[in-house]
Amino acid sequence: MIEVKSLKKSFGKVTALDGLTFSAPEGQITGLLGPNGAGKTTCLRTIYGLLKADTGEALIDGIDANLEPLAVRKKIGIFPDKFGLYERLTAREQIAYFATLHGLEGDAGATAVQNVISRLDMDAIADRRATGFSQGQRMKVALAQAIVHRPKHLILDEPSRGLDVMSTRILRDLLRELRDQGTSILFSSHVMQEVAALCDQVVVVAAGKVAAQGTPTELCEQTGEEALEEAFVKIIGTDEGIAA
Amino acid sequence: MRSPVNIVMRKELKDALRDKRSVMAAMSYAFFGPLLMAVAFYVLISQLTDTSNVKIDIEGAEYAPAFVAHLERQGIVTRDEDWPAGQQPITLAIAPEWEDNIATAQPAKVTLTADFSSQKQRTDIRRVESAVENYTRQLSYIRLQMRGIDPRITQGVDLVKHDTATKGSKAAILLGSVLIFILLSVFFSGMNVAIDISAGERERNSLELLLSQPLTTEQLVWGKALAASAFAMFGGILSAVLIPFIFKFLPLHEIGISIVLAWPMILLIMLLLVPLALLATALQLFVSFRAKSFKEAQTYISLLLMAPMLVVFGVEFARVKNQILYYLPLTGQHQALLDIIKGESLQWGAMAVSAVATVLVSMLLLRLISRMLSSEKVVFGL
């Protein structure tokens, strides 16, 4: 369970989060939908303790990342806003690096790494160095790093950006599978279709606040619109920064 | 469970060893530094021991045939060929009044024209000067004797020089400059790795994810620092091992220098370099974790490299002598190395103090870096 309670955060004069409150329960995919600059990335970074909220708290299973960052980070898998690979390591080595950092070593570690490689259908590239990987292959490695230790919580920041149809499908299938296993998944996006296709719950963020919350259908009903896109535009009052 | 420090260090070492540029950088400085010194010394020695004739222009030779003959016996001869480009001619001009001056026991005028600041011609000029002085002395002796005066009357003080410089301490002057190479090799060899694992991490956008893993920034920084200092140490060991080999091949005995570095001493030198390698890495990480890109970090670090160079060269050339130097990081190691090479008694206590001081300063720096990486301002460049 990921809980965000009245988070406030400002950078100088810019207010990024202005009392954001929502929760991402287990076994559900929660989408954080909002235009660019709405505070999505700031919110996620606060949850895993890289940023410190001015007031309010972000809890993972009741633990505050600002107080016990290591305890929180053990429980989560992260697919960050920016992910870079170590170009001189093979895909397998990169994944193993993150597995060992989560305490998966020896045979258990090797098995976990192999499992995730098979699951993501990466055997062909597993022992190649990352130099020359395509965007989709890079995404797979980053995704494998995030889930290799089978976290109870998965946080993804715009995971589908720059991906082709096949890679997007793999990503969606994986997220659904993990959800069915009881993982609480929180991901940010500004892509309407993706949110509609995937999310059990949508949290619409605008200007650092929750503008609306509910299932995609509920959001449409609340606004009296047929399509989520129209509902979204109505909620945030503008169509700026949104991709269809 | 393996400690995260260990995990990070192993990964960084693996990564760095695959980076040919880093390995080359670590090797080349340690390799070419001593080699460069060897070539320089070789040239220096062959210049010092040069016994061939000095060829100069002599004007008015016809006025003083005896003087010119004397010069010739001293290896100073008239030049037939042209001076090479870029070299000022050395000219000795004998005044036409030579004959008269000698006859009336007046000082005979001889003018030496040369570029006295020229490094290359210094020995030549020196030899001309001493040949002339020699002749003057002979002349005055003869003049005094002819007047029935004991020539020793001109000698107020008989200065007897006892050279207490051991062969080892003469060598120290030479080796002082070699030491600088050994000390600096620690700073140069780990540099590339240090940049790659700090600024490089930021440049390839992997820093954020790494900082979100279940390990403290302290563990992360230590793992990285140990990996980079392993490279720094590698460079240090390489140059320390190479230098005695190179000296074996130099004709140092020709200038009366003997350098005997026994293996235990070389091991001691390596041991002294260990804390210094950690300090070098800590300093470099401290600077380059603030940089946003590899290039930016390189700029900062090349400025940073000036610091140890200034310190070592400063102490070396200003001949600063102070007991405090023995206790401080960097200068402590420098002094200890000097003592080792001079063959003087070693100050074990001071060596230990400077080693501990070096480690403490490194730990403090690494603590500061960990703090820095916990700050959102530094991490996200806010």
Interface of A with B in 129-168 (CB under 8 A): 142, 145
Residues of B contacting chain A (CB within 8 angstroms): 1-2, 4, 7-8, 11, 14-15, 18-19, 201, 203-206, 208-209, 211-216, 376, 379-380, 382
Q: What percent of chain B has pLDDT over 70?
A: 93
**Would you place residue B169 in the very low, low, confident or very high pLDDT band (cuts 50, 70, 90)?**
low
pLDDT at A91: 95
Quote the CA–CA distance of A234 and B31 in Å, as a whole number.
69
Output the DSSP codes for chain A: -EEEEEEEEEETTEEEEEEEEEEE-TT-EEEEE--TTSSHHHHHHHHTTSS--SEEEEEETTEETTT-HHHHHHHEEEE-SS----TTSBHHHHHHHHHHHTT--HHHHHHHHHHHHHHTT-TTTTTSBSTT--HHHHHHHHHHHHHTT--SEEEEESTTTT--HHHHHHHHHHHHHHHHTT-EEEEEE-BHHHHHHH-SEEEEEETTEEEEEE-HHHHHHHHT-SSHHHHHHHHHS--TT-B-
Q: Of the candidates A80, A98, A102, which has its C-beta nearest B208's C-beta?
A: A80
3-class secondary structure, B148: coil
Q: Tell me how close the Cα of B256 comes to any Cα of chain A, in angstroms.
A: 52
Mutate to test the interface with A, among B11, B201, B209 (most CBs of A within 10 A): B209
- Residue A191 pairs with which residues in a beta bridge? A243
Tokens for A13, please give them. Answer: 């004069």
Predicted TM-score of the model (pTM): 0.80
**Would you place residue B22 in the very low, low, confident or very high pLDDT band (cuts 50, 70, 90)?**
confident
Quote the distance between the C-alpha of residue B245 and its chain's center: 17
Judged by CB atoms closer than 8 Å, whether chains meet at A84 and B206 is answered as yes
Average pLDDT of B95-109?
87
pLDDT: which is higher, B226 or B25: B226
Does the residue A93 lie in any domain? Answer: no
Q: Nearest Cα to A233, choosing from A19, A41, A21, A35?
A: A35
Q: Of the candidates A49, A70, A89, which has its C-beta nearest B15's C-beta?
A: A89
Q: Tell me how close the Cα of A105 comes to any Cα of chain B, in angstroms.
A: 8
Residue B259 has pLDDT above 70, yes or no: no
pLDDT at B43: 79
Parallel, antiparallel, or unpaired: how do β-strands B76-78 and B54-59 relate? parallel
3-class secondary structure, B214: coil
Long-range Cβ pairs for the range B308-315 (8 Å, 24+): B308/B183, B308/B184, B308/B187, B308/B280, B309/B180, B309/B184, B312/B179, B312/B180, B312/B183, B312/B184, B313/B180
Rounded to a whole number, what is the distance in angstroms from the first to the last CA of chain A?
A: 29
Chain A environment of B206 (Cβ under 8 Å): 83-86
Does the residue A166 lie in any domain? Answer: yes
pLDDT, tens digit, 9 for 90 and up, residues B210-250: 999 999 999 999 999 999 999 999 988 988 888 777 777 77
Judged by CB atoms closer than 8 Å, whether chains meet at B18 and A85 is answered as no
Residue B253 has pLDDT above 90, yes or no: no
Q: Is A158 left (phi over 0), alpha (psi -120 to 50) or beta?
A: left
Judged by CB atoms closer than 8 Å, whether chains meet at B206 and A83 is answered as yes
pLDDT at B48: 67
- Residue B56 pairs with which residues in a beta bridge? B78
Judged by CB atoms closer than 8 Å, whether chains meet at A51 and B11 is answered as no
Does the residue A127 lie in any domain? Answer: no
Interface of A with B in 185-214 (CB under 8 A): none
The total of structural domains in chain A comes to: 1
**Would you place residue B1 in the very low, low, confident or very high pLDDT band (cuts 50, 70, 90)?**
low
Residue B47 has pLDDT above 80, yes or no: no
Q: Provide the number of CB pairs (under 8 Å) joining chain A to chain B.
A: 72
Does the residue A63 lie in any domain? Answer: yes
Judged by CB atoms closer than 8 Å, whether chains meet at B205 and A84 is answered as yes
Q: Tell me how close the Cα of A216 comes to any Cα of chain B, in angstroms.
A: 31
Residue B258 has pLDDT above 70, yes or no: no
Counting Cβ atoms within 10 Å, is residue B93 exposed (0-12), middle (13-18) or buried (19+)?
middle
Quote the CA–CA distance of A201 and A187 in Å, as a whole number.
11
Whether residue B290 contacts residue B380, with contact meaning beta carbons closer than 8 Å, is answered with: no
- Which residues of chain A register pLDDT less than 70? 238-244
Long-range Cβ pairs for the range B15-24 (8 Å, 24+): B15/A86, B15/A88, B15/A89, B15/B196, B15/B197, B16/B193, B16/B196, B16/B197, B16/B227, B16/B228, B16/B231, B18/A88, B18/A89, B19/A88, B19/B192, B19/B193, B19/B196, B21/B192, B22/B192, B22/B193, B22/B196, B22/B231
B121, containing H or E segment: none
Whether residue A25 contacts residue A1, with contact meaning beta carbons closer than 8 Å, is answered with: yes
3-class secondary structure, B365: helix
Tokens for B36, please give them. Answer: 């460069």
Residue B377 has pLDDT above 70, yes or no: yes
Does the residue A169 lie in any domain? Answer: yes
Judged by CB atoms closer than 8 Å, whether chains meet at B4 and A101 is answered as yes
Q: What percent of chain B has pLDDT over 90?
A: 24
Q: Nearest Cα to A207, choosing from A31, A51, A43?
A: A43
Residues in chain A: 244
pLDDT at B157: 84
- Residue A205 pairs with which residues in a beta bridge? A210
**Would you place residue B167 in the very low, low, confident or very high pLDDT band (cuts 50, 70, 90)?**
low
pLDDT at B285: 94
Could you give phi then psi for residue B147, rounded to 5 degrees?
A: -95, 10
Counting Cβ atoms within 10 Å, is residue B190 exposed (0-12), middle (13-18) or buried (19+)?
buried
Rounded to a whole number, what is the distance in angstroms from the first to the last CA of chain B?
A: 36
**Would you place residue B163 in the very low, low, confident or very high pLDDT band (cuts 50, 70, 90)?**
low
pLDDT, tens digit, 9 for 90 and up, residues A71-123: 999 999 999 878 889 999 999 999 999 999 999 988 999 999 999 999 998 99
Angle of helix B191-203 relative to helix B20-48, nearest 10 degrees, comes to: 150
- Cα A205 to Cα A16, A43, A97, distances in angstroms: 11, 10, 34
**Would you place residue B307 in the very low, low, confident or very high pLDDT band (cuts 50, 70, 90)?**
confident
For chain B, say whether A74 makes contact (Cβ under 8 Å).
Answer: yes
Find the range with the poorest average confidence among A206-215, B165-174, B282-291.
B165-174
Chain B environment of A50 (Cβ under 8 Å): 208, 211-212, 376, 379-380
- Cα B338 to Cα A104, B179, B239, distances in angstroms: 49, 8, 16
Quote the CA–CA distance of A23 and B380 in Å, as a whole number.
26
Find the range with the poorest average confidence among A130-139, B162-171, B275-284.
B162-171
pLDDT at A156: 93
pLDDT at B172: 61
How many other β-carbons are positioned within 10 Å of the β-carbon of residue A55?
11
* Single-letter residue type at A83: F
The CATH number of the domain where A207 resides is what? 3.40.50.300
Could you give phi then psi for residue A114, rounded to 5 degrees?
A: -65, -40
Does the residue A41 lie in any domain? Answer: yes
For chain B, say whether A87 makes contact (Cβ under 8 Å).
Answer: yes
For chain B, say whether A100 makes contact (Cβ under 8 Å).
Answer: yes
Q: Of the candidates A50, A93, A97, which has its C-beta nearest B212's C-beta?
A: A50
Judged by CB atoms closer than 8 Å, whether chains meet at B15 and A86 is answered as yes
Whether residue A200 contacts residue A29, with contact meaning beta carbons closer than 8 Å, is answered with: yes
| R_g of chain A, CA atoms, integer Å | 18
Find the range with the poorest average confidence among A48-62, B21-35, B110-124.
B21-35
Does the residue A92 lie in any domain? Answer: no
Does the residue A18 lie in any domain? Answer: yes
Scan for tokens 């030491």, then name that residue. B179
Residues whose CB falls within 8 Å of the CB of residue B259, separated by 6 or more in sequence, listed in order = B168, B171, B174, B175, B244, B247, B252, B341
Could you give phi then psi for residue B210, rounded to 5 degrees?
A: -65, -40
Average pLDDT of B5-25?
89
Tokens for B152, please give them. Answer: 């020793």
Residue A213's domain spans which residues? 2-83+155-236
Name the closest residue on chain B to residue A96, using Cα atoms. B11
pLDDT, tens digit, 9 for 90 and up, residues A64-85: 988 898 999 999 999 987 888 9
